[in-house]
A and B are shown apart, each in its own frame.
Chain A
Amino acid sequence: MNKVDWKPHMDETDRQIIQATQEGLPLVPRPYHAVAEALGLSSADVMARMQRMLDDGVIRRIGVVPNHYRLGIKANGMSVWDVDDAHVRDAGMELGALDYVTHCYRRPRHLPDWPYNLFAMVHGRRRDEVEALVAEMARILGPRARRHEILFSTRILKKTGLRLGM
């Protein structure tokens, strides 16, 4: 669980490293060395800073990032739940631990248009697979969830990595 009101300290060099790597590491034998050279830093400095950002949770992981859509995981369902505020944290942690939930966040309601305070993104190969998973989630939450919906995406209009406005 990550509290969002805590901000780790980051300096300008840290930001430059994030900016230089957010589209991916260079695919060369010594990628951190290449990043360091491009920024005029030592590779030891780059690796120490990235390690600190991993420890602080700024960098969640450094890994291979698949394009789900190209792998046939085309049904992208945003399940949204109206959970009693007293239970939302427990509910969020239970849904967030499921292996088919890629993101799970608490967000504010926006009444009367939007009664939902818990969001869990579910990906699957087909729509009915996502619907079956969400039905399982509804059983897990039981009466803690007053109602829920699944918002399927019908078009991806834009999808890029994080770009920092710096």
Chain B
Amino acid sequence: MALSETERRIINKYQRGIPYEPRPFKAIADALGLTENFVLNTLADLRERRILSRVGPVISPNTVGASTLAAMSVPAGKLDAVAAQVSARPEVNHNYEREHQLNLWFVLAAADRDAVLAVIDDIEKEAGLDVVELPLEEAYHIDLGFRV
């Protein structure tokens, strides 16, 4: 995925945060010697090309509602069907197949802990398989973003 020098600068410089002010894109433009309109068009284009998933807030886990990481050990022949059932739930926001005996890993979020457990219960009943639930106990990372 080819990036222009300006696109690269914007992504590298603003992953950790854009200026918090009423006209943030003008502040970015001023810092980089561009126009506000050019910055807006560049960001819209990066979104259109799906290089950016969004420009906006990143929410910390478990501060708004409750979430958890869960895993299942799904027999190969059932994997596509179970994965589709899991992905179909609106509470599930990530679902990955991984190389392990526990081969289906998903993150789900709901209004509170009871709602999370109710979704897991439903998934277990629908799939006829146990879910290993691994809720977050403590977070340690300092996410500095990616150099591109």
Interface residues of chain A, those whose CB is within 8 Å of chain B, are 1-4, 7-8, 10, 15, 18, 21-25, 27-33, 43, 47, 50-51, 53-54, 56-68, 70-73, 76, 78, 89, 92-93, 95-97, 99, 101-108, 110, 113-114, 119-120, 123, 149, 151-166
Contacts and interface: CB of A to CB of B under 8 A. Distances in A.
B53 interface: yes
A25 B134 contact: no
Task: Please give me the 9 A-B residue pairs with the lowest Cβ-Cβ distance, nearest first.
Answer: A24-B54, A96-B140, A92-B140, A96-B141, A158-B95, A104-B141, A155-B97, A158-B87, A107-B134
A60 B132 contact: no
Nearest to B24: A31
B125 interface: no
B140 A95 contact: yes
A59 B137 contact: no
A158 B104 CA distance: 11
A27 to B, nearest CB: 5
A58 B134 contact: no
Q: Is the interface of A mostly helix, strand, loop or mixed?
A: mixed
A27 B44 contact: yes
Contacts of B92: 158
Best-surrounded residue of A93, A123, A154, A165 (most CB of chain B within 10 A): A165
A61 B16 contact: yes
B138 A92 contact: yes
Nearest to A14: B64
20 contacts: A1-B138, A2-B139, A24-B54, A27-B43, A57-B63, A58-B63, A59-B57, A60-B58, A64-B14, A65-B55, A66-B11, A93-B140, A105-B140, A105-B141, A107-B135, A113-B101, A123-B146, A157-B97, A158-B106, A162-B67
